[in-house]
Amino acid sequence: ATASEDKDLVIIGGGVAGYVAAIKAGQEGMKVTCIEKRGTLGGTCLNVGCIPSKSLLNNSHLYHQILHDTKNRGIEVGDVKLNLANFMKAKDTAVTGLTKGVEFLLKKNGVEYLKGEGSFVSENEIKVALNDGGETTVRGKNILIATGSEATPFPGLEIDEKRVVTSTGALSLEKIPESMVVIGGGIIGLEMASVWSRLGTKVTVVEFLGQIGGPGMDNEIAKSAQKLLKKQGIEFKLNTKVVSGDASGEKIKLDVDSAKGGKPESLDAEVVLVAIGRRPYTGNLGLETIGMELDERGRVIIDSEYRTKIPHIRCVGDATFGPMLAHKAEEEAVAVVEYIKKGYGHVNYGCIPSVMYTYPEVAWVGQTEQDLKAQNIPYRVGTFPFSANSRAKTNLDTEGLVKMIADPETDRLLGVHIIGPNAGEMIAEGTLALEYGASTEDIARTCHAHPTLAEAFKEAAMATHAKAIHF
């Protein structure tokens, strides 16, 4: 390419961050190239993350419910069997449909899509090693690093994605293992533990901290989630650290230490899932060629407008700061294009929801009680249990609660924490309320349809500044 053919924006990575930025920039009339090496668009989320995991979670829940939760509903079922190959096929169909859909959207918005690995040759020039062989070069007035993240490996245990797996292997096991140890009780660990435990695997989750759920989950909700997951058959070892592993035998052996000084123990399992977090991925990108800075955790250092120290090179998504969530990447992708094109953009980092898609779901937005306590900020709490909600009772699905946290003086909503049926959808209402600066009285005075689970949300708001009606 020659300088006259410079693109307005060259994006490295076609994950949620990259493809959303590409579409948005196309819509803004910019000339865009998006480089992705995977062979399909959508990144971790669509290919080996959010989407396939939710397919397995949804269908394993259905299977588990048919096995264990029909009789009391007056439904008698005969011989129920799981066909693992078809169960996986349903997941693959969802993934393919969505990744192809993204490819169509790039085309529709005039984005050039290059299948290959991109690396910096200079501050404006990206070399692309094409998947089909050969090489090309693209030049960009602006460049966006959207290369995402990868699973953090566990030292001494080599990942083969068959016996020692990351989430990627855990999404595609070819047979149901008898036993599985999950290292790390964060969101990946608990979602995957749920899937395989529902299909019949004996699952043990080993978590270093004293609570499950990873960073950000409210203590009270995390305890309640652990109790409900334990009831489903998942075993937990908290305050326990996996110190070493040995995969040379028929079973994988793990040595664990109590973080509180108890006696060391050893566990064995047919499959071990390493789910101890993810780290930014910037391998083979040639960052050293342009003198780009990473922080001590490998994140690309950016300013509040996503600029690196080379101002026309920006970075969004998992490769930089903030929670590693698809919807956070998507918000940033839109904002970064707006910064480039118009000079302004907006992401409210205090208002990014989190959802754990276990059963029941756990969802939250805003501050936790532990955050507020640590900052010495006064707050008021109101809760409403699903056991007092008419729809939850009708559905025979009454585990969990809605918890709201508000400013005791102004009544402004500070946080919402839900464990219960449909929590992942219900949190959208909490997110909107928080984004608009609602008080809990505003929520309580908003008419909610009856009978719905959302009435529990309204009643939790009532309980925060006054009293709930039904509890």
Of residues 61, 64, 417, 450, which has the active-site annotation? 450
Nearer to ligand NAD, 114 or 269 (CB): 269
Stretch that binds ligand FAD, among 91-99, 218-226, 319-327, 379-387 (CB under 6 A): 319-327
Cα distances (angstroms) measured from residue 284 to each of 10, 75, 126, 457: 17, 56, 12, 47
284 binds, among ligand NAD, ligand FAD, none (CB under 5 to 8 A by kind): ligand FAD
Burial of 130 from C-beta contacts in 10 A (0-12 / 13-18 / 19+): middle
Q: Does 318 bind ligand FAD (CB under 6 A)?
A: yes
Closest residue by Cα to residue 280 from 116, 147, 118: 147
169 binds ligand FAD per the rule CB under 6 A: no
The minimum distance between CB 148 and ligand NAD, in angstroms, equals: 11
Binding to ligand FAD by CB under 6 A, coded x per residue (else -) over 177-216, reads -----------x----------------------------
To the query of whether residue 64 is one of the catalytic residues in this protein, the response is no
Number of residues that bind ligand FAD (CB under 6 A): 37
Residues 232-251 close enough to bind ligand FAD by CB under 6 A: none
- β-pair type (202-206, 112-120): unpaired
Give me 203's structure tokens: 């699952």
Choosing from 33, 147, 197, 389, the residue that interacts with ligand FAD (CB under 6 A) is 147
125 lies in the site for ligand FAD, by CB under 6 A: no
User: Phi and psi dihedrals of 325, rounded to 5?
Assistant: -130, 145
Q: Between 319 and 335, whose beta carbon lies closer to ligand FAD?
A: 319
Which entry of ligand FAD, ligand NAD, none binds 138, CB below 5 to 8 A by partner kind? Answer: none
Q: Please tell me whether residue 111 binds ligand FAD under the rule CB under 6 A.
A: no
Measured CA to CA, the distance from residue 455 to residue 98 in angstroms comes to 33
Task: Please report how close the Cβ of residue 147 comes to ligand FAD at its closest, in angstroms.
Answer: 4
If binding is defined by CB under 6 A, does position 103 make contact with ligand FAD? no
Question: CB of 264: closest distance to ligand NAD in angstroms?
Answer: 13
What whole-number distance in Å separates Cα of residue 114 and Cα of residue 36? 6
Cβ proximity to ligand NAD, 120 vs 357, nearer residue: 357
First-to-last C-alpha distance (Å) of the chain: 69
Q: Which residues are CB-neighbours of 127 under 8 A, at least 6 positions away?
A: 118, 119, 120, 121, 135, 136, 137, 286
Amino acid found at 40: T
Helix (H, G, I), strand (E, B) or coil at 378: coil
- By the criterion CB under 6 A, which residues form the site for ligand NAD? 183-189, 191, 206-209, 214, 241-242, 275-278, 323-325, 355-357
How far is Cα 48 from Cα 287, in angstroms, rounded to an integer?
26
